[in-house]
Amino acid sequence: MNPDVHQRAQGLIAAALVEGLPASEQAWLDEHLPGCPACAQSAAATRRAIEALRWVAVSADPALVQATQQRVRMRTQELAERQERWLPLAVSCGLATLVSLVTLTYLWQGFAWLGEQWSLPALTWQAGFVSAWFLPTSLAAVALWMQSRSATNGNRETVHWVPSVGPRRGER
C-alpha cells in the first residue's frame, strides 16, 4: 500500500477527533481502517489517549467550595457597604466642586480686598487664596486615602479551609 495512504489516514484519525470530518473523508477512513492493522492500531491508541483524559477524575473539595462561597458572600457584603459609602460622598464632591467654581471669583476678590485692607504684598494674599482653595480638598483626600487603606487591609482576611480526607468521585 502507498505510504501516503497511511499518512492520510493518520491525519484523518486526529482530524476526526479535533474538528470532525466531512462525510466523504469519514467514509474513506472507515473503509481504510479495517484493512490496515497499523492504522487501526493507531486509531485505537488515539482513542485510548482521549479516554485517559476523560477517565482521570478531578473534583473540588466540598470544604474548599464552602469556604469559597463564604468568602464570596463576605466580599459581596463589603462591596455593597463600600458602594453605600461612596455614593453620598461622590454626590457631595460633585456639589462641592460646583460651589467652588461658582464662588471662585468672589473668593479671589475677597482675598484681594483683604490684602489691600491690610497692605499685604500681592504674593502673600495670593498664597493665602491658593491655601484656602486647596487645603480642604487636600485634607479630604488624605482622609479618604487613609480610610480606603484601612478598608483594603480589612478585606485581606482569608477564609481558611481544611481539606477533607478520603477518595472522591469525579463529578461533572
Partner 1 sequence: MNLAIYCAATWMTDERAEIARGLRRRDPSVLDRLIEQYQHRLFRYLVYLAGNRSLAEDLFQETWLRVLERGRQYDGKSPFETWLFAIARHLLIDTLRRKSPASLDALRDPGEGAVLWEPPAADPSAYELLAGREQEAQMAAAVAGVPAVYREVLMLRFQEDLALEQIAAVVGAPLSTVKSRLYRGLSALRQQMERSPS
Q: Do 6 and 38 form a contact (C-beta atoms < 8 A)? A: yes
Residue 41 beta carbon to partner 1: minimum distance, rounded to whole angstroms: 11
Nearer to partner 1, 50 or 114 (CB): 50
Is residue 95 near partner 1 by the rule CB under 8 A? no
Residue 127 beta carbon to partner 1: minimum distance, rounded to whole angstroms: 44
Is residue 171 near partner 1 by the rule CB under 8 A? yes
Contact with partner 1 (CB under 8 A) among 21, 36, 40, 67:
67
Closest by CA to 61, choosing from 167, 163, 150, is 163
Half-sphere exposure of 90 (CA within 13 A, CB side): 6
**Amino acid at the residue 43:** A
- Binding letters toward partner 1, positions 13-52, x by CB under 8 A: -x--xxx-------------------------xx-xxx-x
Cell digits of residue 165: 480526607
State how far the Cα of 68 lies from the Cα of 62, in Å rounded to an integer: 10
Long-range contacts of 59-65 (CB under 8 A, 24+ apart): 59/168, 59/169, 59/170, 59/171, 61/161, 61/163, 61/164, 61/168, 62/164, 63/161, 63/162, 63/163, 63/164, 64/161, 64/163
Contact with partner 1 (CB under 8 A) among 5, 7, 27, 68:
68
Residue 58 beta carbon to partner 1: minimum distance, rounded to whole angstroms: 4
Is residue 156 near partner 1 by the rule CB under 8 A? no
- Binding letters toward partner 1, positions 71-90, x by CB under 8 A: xxx-xx--xx----------
State how far the Cα of 80 lies from the Cα of 72, in Å rounded to an integer: 12
Nearer to partner 1, 72 or 107 (CB): 72
Is residue 170 near partner 1 by the rule CB under 8 A? yes
State how far the Cα of 40 lies from the Cα of 29, in Å rounded to an integer: 10
Residues forming the site for partner 1 (CB under 8 A): 14, 17-19, 45-46, 48-50, 52-61, 64-65, 67-69, 71-73, 75-76, 79-80, 159, 163, 167-172
